[in-house]
Structure 1
Amino acid sequence: MNLPDDHFSLFWIGLGWLLLVLALVWSIKTAPWHKIKGDSEAFNVFIGTSVLLSFIWAGAASIGGGLSFHILLMASVTLMFGPQFALFSAILALVGVTAMGQSGVLMFGMNAVLMAVIPIFIVWLMTLFAYRYLERHFFVFVLFNGFFAAAVSTFVSLLIAAGVMWLGGLHETEKLTQSFLPYIPLMVIPEAFANGMVVLALVVLKPQWVSCFDDDEFLKGK
């Protein structure tokens, strides 16, 4: 998505920053800071993930006129770190993308909302739903929390991004219906597949990196 500064009014710029600040305040107040105290491995994984995410986001596929797509990986990052630290990681990644000139400085807040706050919120709600109402099973975790949550969160985020571009005057309805909306389903599938594979690999090889996964609950006795 990586919205540019052009054509957006102060209303959209201010709204984006307001929503981002509110999300950051909540994250700072509720983050489980005790879990990372003195944990150098967790810190290294966090920084490494943020850097990798920045390069992935910077490599957006442009289809002209400021329209672009890229893998978000917010489902994987949320399951790894929880919603608060996932937001911190995404903001660090977006700082890198913005510094590379791939995203608008003034629209940083709105880009963060579209690329991080919204998908993280959706993934976390679906994760809580699965934890409460679905069987705590390895494949449920991978398929629902990884694959399906990634698909739903990406679909919603891209639709909202289209609405922002239309209401903000960046693109007309005809442009969006011809060059953006038809590509949304095409992005949902690889996003779901990528997150599903990342989550699967992590819970098999490095389950300690996935804060939302517990061997005792999802594997033992299954």
Structure 2
Amino acid sequence: MWMWLIALLAIIPCLSDAKRHFFPKLFREPSFQHLTFAMCFGLFLLWSAEAGVKEGLNIHFLALTSLTLMYGWTIAYLLCFPIVLSLTLFGSLSYELIGQYLVLSCLIPILTSYAVFLTSYRFLPRNIFIYIFIAGFLNGAISGSVQLIATGLFNLIIDLHQWQEIVNNYLIFIVLLAFPEGLLNGMAITLLSVFKPEWLRTFSDRDYIYNHYHKK
């Protein structure tokens, strides 16, 4: 039940951003509607293709770093709700696990992705290569790994599995999944930053391109 509470409390800071920026743009711009619906449908398909290692220990690609860089963490988290509800309606996720799924597989990797982006923005040179390889590729690998660790720790806390069992049967996949998760997000961010930078809320030509060459 406390997972439900965390999942719902996390919506509070999202509502003002959605009211001021997201919903007006969504209702006003058909192209933005199509983009948003396509992203939700794509994530629904991606998350539907999950592998169950053991009870409570499921693995799937997230692509939440791309979603976070496109919409910001608040809107990215809000968009997870219709996706998770769709997974429940189609039988891929049980109703009892919605709160747990929202926190472990949505909120935590989204906040991790945004934290890595902010760290790179604050402390690293602002150029497009840093944005692609650090905020995109490395960020995706980190957020995917954090999600697996958080899920493993949660199963340990609720005493569903023993730690050694979690390590040997679940956390071992971090080595195998970190690179493809990073590659998936890195490729998406590369394409978007080159061809559709206006779709990336966290990307600015002024910061990552013009200022970089102006300093030279």
TM-score by length of 1: 0.87
Give the Cα–Cα distance (whole angstroms) in 2 for the partners of residues 66 and 119 of structure 1. 17
CA contact (8 A) 2:113 2:140 kept: yes
Deviations 1:127-176 (A, max 9, x none): 12222222110000011111111111221121110011122233233431
Larger mean Cα displacement after TM superposition, 150-159 or 75-84: 150-159
For the residues of structure 1 that align with 2:36 and 2:183, how far apart are their CA atoms?
22
Task: State yes or no: 1:16 paired with 2:6.
Answer: no
Q: State whether residues 127 and 145 of structure 1, in contact with CA within 8 Å, keep that contact through their aligned partners in structure 2.
A: yes
Out of 130, 143, 156, which is 1:166 matched to? 156
**Letter paired with 1:107:** L
- Identity among equivalent pairs (%): 27
Given the two structures, how large is their TM-score scaled by the length of structure 2? Answer: 0.89
Q: Does the 8 Å CA contact 1:60/1:69 hold for their aligned counterparts?
A: yes
Map residues 210-221 of structure 1 onto 2, 5 A cutoff. Answer: 210-220=200-210
| CA distance, structure 2, for counterparts of residue 46 and residue 33 of structure 1 | 17
For the aligned residue pairs, the C-alpha RMSD in angstroms reads 1.7
Residue in structure 1 matched with residue 21 of structure 2 by the alignment:
34
How far off its partner does 1:186 sit? Answer: 1.1
Paired with 2:73 and 2:173, the residues of 1 have a C-alpha distance of: 27
Alignment coverage as a number of residue pairs: 209
Q: Structure 1: state its 5+ residue gaps.
A: 1-13
Aligned residue number for residue 183 of structure 1: 173
What SS does the corresponding residue of 2:52 show, helix, strand or coil?
strand
Q: Please name the residue that 2:184 is paired with.
A: 194
Of 102, 111, 130 in structure 1, the residue corresponding to residue 120 of structure 2 is 130
**Where in structure 2 are there 5+ consecutive unaligned residues?**
none
Letter in 2 for 1:21: L
Determine whether 1:53 maps to 2:43.
Answer: yes
State how 1:83-162 maps to structure 2 within 5 Å: 83-162=73-152
- Does the CA contact (< 8 Å) of 1:36 and 1:42 recur in 2? no
Compute the displacement of 1:47 (Å). Answer: 1.4
Offset at residue 27 of structure 1 (A):
0.8
The answer to whether the 8 Å contact 2:57/2:152 transfers is no
Deviation sequence 1:16-38 (CA, Å, 0-9, x none): 11111111111113446335521
Would the aligned equivalents of 1:47 and 1:89 in 2 still touch at CA under 8 Å?
A: no
Alignment-derived partner of residue 7 in structure 1: none
Q: Supply the distance in 2 between the matched residues of 1:32 and 1:25 (Cα, whole angstroms).
A: 12
**Which range moves more in the overlay, 118-127 or 167-176?**
167-176
Amino acid at match of 1:167: I
CA distance in 2, matches of 1:71, 1:59: 8
Cα distance in 1 between the residues matched to 2:118 and 2:200: 15
CA distance in 2, matches of 1:78, 1:213: 11
Corresponding residue number in structure 1 for 2:197: 207
CA distance in 2, matches of 1:160, 1:173: 13
| Counterpart in the other structure of 1:8 | none
Q: Which has the higher contact order (CA 8 A, sep 6+)?
A: 1
Contact kept, 8 Å, 2:22 with 2:75, in 1: the verdict is no
